[in-house]
Structure 1
Amino acid sequence: MNTRTAFSYLARTWQLQVPKHFQSIAGLSSRAYSSSTPTPTMALKPPQPAARVADRRQDVWTIVNEGAAASPKQPIVNMGQGFFGYNPPEFIINAAKQALDKVECNQYSPTRGRPRLKKALADAYSPLWGRKLNPDTEITITTGANEGMLSAFMGFIEEGDEVIIFEPFFDQYISNIEMPGGKIVYVPLHPPPNGATQDSSAGEWSVDFAELEAAISPKTKMIVLNTPHNPVGKVFSKEELLKIGELCVKNNIIILSDEVYDRLYYVPFTRIATLSPEIESLTLTVGSAGKNFYATGWRVGWLIGPPHLIQYAAAAHTRICYSSVSPLQEAAAVGFEEADKNGFWTSAVKEMKGKMDRFNEIWKELDLPFSDPEGGYFVLVNMKKVKVPDGYPFPDHVKDRPRDFRLSWFLIQEVGVAAIPPTEFYTDANAHIGEDWLRFAVCKNDDVLENAKERLRGLKKYISS
């Protein structure tokens, strides 16, 4: 059977809708494959998705974007997603442009990262570690912090291994742990007892260490720590970290310390890997150039840890994406090399804290309690006093979600400000902890923050004492 005959046969047999530009090849007319001649039929079922992505509810980002598109208050002020509203500083932008002119920066980088960036990181972090880090054996570059964490999970987690995470959590942790077959064990951070009635510190969100210890089992392989914390803004104290570290040493549990906001802290900040040699031997520290340099789209991250941990995370990274984006690794290296001489780290903290303090004035004006962040660029605000009118027309996929989803939708529709409902970062069992709060990102231009404040004054008529 020649090609022409075969194509004609397949079209008739399987009732193919052949594009017109192929019909002449097969010698077919539009009537040839719409013949009434009986043909075999197949009852094809759609391909089945993997369990890790099946039966997922509509995600928060889609809901917020959908709400924004439907809102009469256009354009919406986006205080939801944590991307910066402004560019990296000029010396870093220039480094990225210059990297594109270098042949080697437009080709594959070594799988563990460009030597210049690894050295720049070792030089930057060695003083914080109190010893010299080896750039070749203790650092690996990843395609963003998220891929770094996935590499850590893929390097160590097998079917049935348990991983402890604190609620609320960065939502990407969940799928990253489940992909290699890990089982997640949740331990909640408890909000301040008076958080619904008065302002509080993010540091008052607390760990119940009896709950944490009870969550540990012989199958516990890893614990995930996030400090400064997203979305709470908590910086774990040295005392809290010591307790966590000692439990991990006692039970031989790997610590994955997500420290992507490690240059944005407003209270003393302790890196858990620096507390003792025993704790350091179990710790992988995650970092992010995107968060450090206002460039979340660059997707340049890293892992720092002892060789006996790094080698397996690096092996997984190689199998996930082989190597990370070359020119932006080079630019990130320049960022670290020149940050101090440009006074960047100091100005970054000062500017973000200023934005945070100025934006949070609106909550004092509205008498809505907020949790004052100790680090990062998110603030949680308690909206218990906001009364949504009875019978408000929420879409079906929103009205059955926790109250913070309805609050988020309501704010978008009525005042034109988007914020993120934090119960997206909780299990259903603990969603009640976060259902009166909303998360706002302040990493925006000052005029955007002022616009948001003006719009939020529209909530006054919905607030009761």
Structure 2
Amino acid sequence: MAARPEELIKPAERISGFGNDVWTMVNSAAAASSIQPIANLGQGFFGYNPPRFLIDAAQEALTKVDCNQYSPTRGRPRLKKALADTYSPLFGRVIDPVTEISITTGANEGMLSAIMAFVEPGEEVICFEPFFDQYIRNIHLASAIVKYVPFMPPSADGRVRIPASEWTLDMQQVRQAISPKTKMMIINTPHNPIGKVFSRGELLALGELCVQHSIIILSDEVYDRLSYVPFTRISTLSPEIEARTLTVGSVGKAFYATGWRVGHLIGPASLINHVSTAHTRICFATPGPQQEAAAVGYEEADSRGFWEESRMDMMSKMARFNAVWEELGLSYIDPQGGYFVLVNTSRVKIPASFAFPPEVEERSRDFKLSWFLIMELGVAAIPPADFYSPENAHLSEDYLRFAVCKNDDLLELAKQRLRGLKKYMDD
């Protein structure tokens, strides 16, 4: 019998191990659940629109001929100037909008461009776990090697509310992960999914290691506007650290517009030049109307008080939603930034009679818990196992990640349904 085409055509090794991602599994389960509407606190997209002034700017941009044609590959000048004006005071220096900023098609494409620009096949990139899973896919697309260093999770010690700051790195493990092949280190602050904001001391220790070993720093700061404690940018700690740091930002995260796919990288011209070259070859240019509207957003956000309003609103959502864990007595990680909360569900006991489909039955406990919540309670959350290497995935088995960037009525529905966990909890 002749082989079928799919048996003859093999994918490249760099993607063959990806399989179905966690987002597909959770969203498919949510669609299949008999409990509708699902209180979907899984994927981190917003449940509400960008602010009105940004929507108005986008509608106006759609009427402009130049906005509807190819944008300059490195970004529209107006957006780059608005970003330079916004971030120069925060970086403590004047940022050149022409040479030190590159606009990308989402922050993720910006990170891929940075990795492709500098990391050769076989070179190594250090990631701290848990990590945003797309980091690993991007590194593998570059045929590079991931070196994992886990955060040390805190002990609950009977507490319900555990500060995110108690997740720590063992600096000796970080040093041991560095080799002559280490090319890049990815730092995420505020952190997804922990909600940790790295302290100045932690960032300085990591930055000095990178200077010592000539390692490029890719600092993912897409949640910088949602920091609830003092926020330090690693690029500001010393000229030597700044010289090797690329800072990643996101219009989507800043303005509730994740579907716009506009990101940006800020860094020395010597680094940005190569990132822009890679970006040109990956997707050439980022959509013009969204860039033009984003420029208006950055130009007007301060005068409208948008940044503080956004931060206070998310803090309020987080506090009201996390009250349900206090009611249930389930430990949760109180975030210092971002809009995710990790909850320890070790006290939740899934009935032995509950049937899982084969693709879930073979997965870790957190996947089973996620499936159970969707099917039994109508609440979707993300199992963090895919944010860990296989060796350390056991660290996540009792946790679920909930996204709080949703409408208040949806958060209240989720809280109401989550109270149903009581009958599945031990004493």
TM-score bracket, normalised by the shorter chain, equals: over 0.9
Instruction: State whether structure 2 residue 232 is matched by structure 1 residue 267.
Output: no
Instruction: State whether structure 2 residue 327 is matched by structure 1 residue 398.
Output: no
In the other structure, the counterpart of 1:358 is: 320
User: Whole-Å Cα distance in 2 between the matches of residues 87 and 42 of structure 1?
Assistant: 50
Alignment of 1:312-391 (within 5 A): 312-391=274-353
1:129 to 77, 85, 91: 91
In the other structure, the counterpart of 1:23 is: none
User: Whole-Å Cα distance in 2 between the matches of residues 229 and 444 of structure 1?
Assistant: 19
Amino acid corresponding to residue 117 of structure 2 in structure 1 = G
Paired residue secondary structure (1:163): strand
Alignment of 1:135-174 (within 5 A): 135-174=97-136
TM-score by length of 1: 0.90
TM-score by length of 2: 0.98
User: Whole-Å Cα distance in 2 between the matches of residues 43 and 266 of structure 1?
Assistant: 56
Q: Report the alpha carbon displacement of residue 68 of structure 1 after superposing the two structures with TM.
A: 1.7
Residues 142-200 of structure 1 show CA distances to partners (whole Å, capped at 9, x for unaligned) of 00000000000010011111000000111111111111221100000111122775320
Instruction: State whether structure 2 residue 198 is matched by structure 1 residue 236.
Output: yes
1:449 to 396, 406, 411: 411
1:90 to 22, 35, 52: 52
In the other structure, the counterpart of 1:407 is: 369
Contact persistence 1:88–1:295 (CA under 8 A): yes
Contact persistence 1:195–1:370 (CA under 8 A): no
Contact persistence 1:196–1:382 (CA under 8 A): no
Contact persistence 1:283–1:305 (CA under 8 A): yes
In the other structure, the counterpart of 2:144 is: 182
Q: Report the alpha carbon displacement of residue 65 of structure 1 after superposing the two structures with TM.
A: 2.2
1:279 to 231, 238, 241: 241
Name structure 2 gaps, 5 residues minimum. Answer: none
Instruction: State whether structure 2 residue 254 is matched by structure 1 residue 292.
Output: yes
Contact persistence 2:160–2:325 (CA under 8 A): no
Instruction: State whether structure 2 residue 224 is matched by structure 1 residue 254.
Output: no
Residues 203-246 of structure 1 show CA distances to partners (whole Å, capped at 9, x for unaligned) of 11111101001000010000000000111111001110000001
Contact persistence 1:190–1:433 (CA under 8 A): no
Alignment of 1:418-433 (within 5 A): 418-433=380-395
User: Whole-Å Cα distance in 2 between the matches of residues 109 and 68 of structure 1?
Assistant: 38
User: Whole-Å Cα distance in 2 between the matches of residues 204 and 302 of structure 1?
Assistant: 30
User: Whole-Å Cα distance in 2 between the matches of residues 69 and 290 of structure 1?
Assistant: 25
Residues 31-78 of structure 1 show CA distances to partners (whole Å, capped at 9, x for unaligned) of xxxxxxxxxx88754311111221434321222123223322222110
Contact persistence 2:194–2:341 (CA under 8 A): yes
Contact persistence 1:255–1:284 (CA under 8 A): yes
Amino acid corresponding to residue 384 of structure 2 in structure 1 = P
Contact persistence 2:18–2:137 (CA under 8 A): no
Amino acid corresponding to residue 345 of structure 2 in structure 1 = M
Paired residue secondary structure (1:360): helix
Contact persistence 1:256–1:283 (CA under 8 A): yes
The number of equivalent residue pairs is: 426
Higher mean displacement: 137-146 or 62-71: 62-71
Contact persistence 1:363–1:369 (CA under 8 A): yes
Name structure 1 gaps, 5 residues minimum. Answer: 1-40
Q: Report the alpha carbon displacement of residue 112 of structure 1 after superposing the two structures with TM.
A: 0.5
Residues 406-461 of structure 1 show CA distances to partners (whole Å, capped at 9, x for unaligned) of 10011111110000001111111101111100000000011111011001111110
What percent of counterpart residues are identical? 64
Residues 73-125 of structure 1 show CA distances to partners (whole Å, capped at 9, x for unaligned) of 22211000100000011011100000011111111111110000000000000
Contact persistence 2:26–2:371 (CA under 8 A): yes
1:439 to 376, 381, 401: 401
Contact persistence 1:195–1:371 (CA under 8 A): no
Higher mean displacement: 61-70 or 217-226: 61-70
Taking a change above 3 Å as real, the CA distance of residues 351 and 315 of structure 1, as seen in their structure-2 partners, is same
Contact persistence 2:364–2:397 (CA under 8 A): yes
User: Whole-Å Cα distance in 1 between the matches of residues 295 and 217 of structure 2?
Assistant: 26
Amino acid corresponding to residue 201 of structure 2 in structure 1 = E
Paired residue secondary structure (1:235): coil
User: Whole-Å Cα distance in 2 between the matches of residues 195 and 351 of structure 1?
Assistant: 31
Instruction: State whether structure 2 residue 153 is matched by structure 1 residue 211.
Output: no
Amino acid corresponding to residue 374 of structure 2 in structure 1 = I
Query: Greater Rg, structure 1 or structure 2?
Result: 1
Contact persistence 2:152–2:168 (CA under 8 A): yes
User: Whole-Å Cα distance in 2 between the matches of residues 292 and 193 of structure 1?
Assistant: 33
Residues 322-381 of structure 1 show CA distances to partners (whole Å, capped at 9, x for unaligned) of 111101000000000000111000000000000000000000000001000000000000
